[in-house]
Amino acid sequence: MKFYTSLPNSLKFYYELELNNYKSECLKGNLTKAWTHLERAHIIGQLYPFAHSHVHWKMLQFGIKIKSRKEIIGQIPRLIFGGVKSFIGRVPIGNPGGANVPPLKPFPIDKELQDIFKL
């Protein structure tokens, strides 16, 4: 069994770029675009416990910001268990991480993000 820990340098730039884009879009009031960047950060970082948990923390904060009871309630178990599942390599690859999708369902990864993983 492989244990995953820190985000590799090859992905770190893209993960941080998505989080910065999230913050920028939030400040502009573009909440739909902001959320998309959080989902992309989730996909990039979901194999790595700290990055994965950090995105779920941001998603929880976003749920609070938009006053979405569904997102708040949905993020709490994801925040608690997501990092553990990452650590043991048991995540549903491509899952965007929001409460609007089943937490254990894998999803296809967009071509653009697939290319990031190949670098």
Per-residue pLDDT averaged across 76-85, rounded?
Answer: 92
pLDDT (0 to 100) of residue 41: 98
**Average pLDDT score over residue span 51-67:** 97
pLDDT of residue 1: 57
- Please tell me the distance from the alpha carbon of residue 91 to that of residue 82, in angstroms, as a whole number: 8
Provide the token pair at 56: 């779920």
In total, the chain counts a number of residues equal to: 119
Average pLDDT (23-43) is 98
Three-state DSSP at 60 gives helix
- Res 74 pLDDT > 70: yes
Proportion of the chain above pLDDT 70, given as a percent: 96
**Tokens 């043991």 sit on residue:** 88
What pLDDT was estimated at residue 3? 63
Rounded to an integer, the average pLDDT of 75-91 is 90
Instruction: State the chain's mean pLDDT as an integer.
Output: 93
> How distant is the alpha carbon of residue 109 from its chain centre?
13
Tokens linked to 36: 């998309």
Over residues 37-66, mean pLDDT: 96
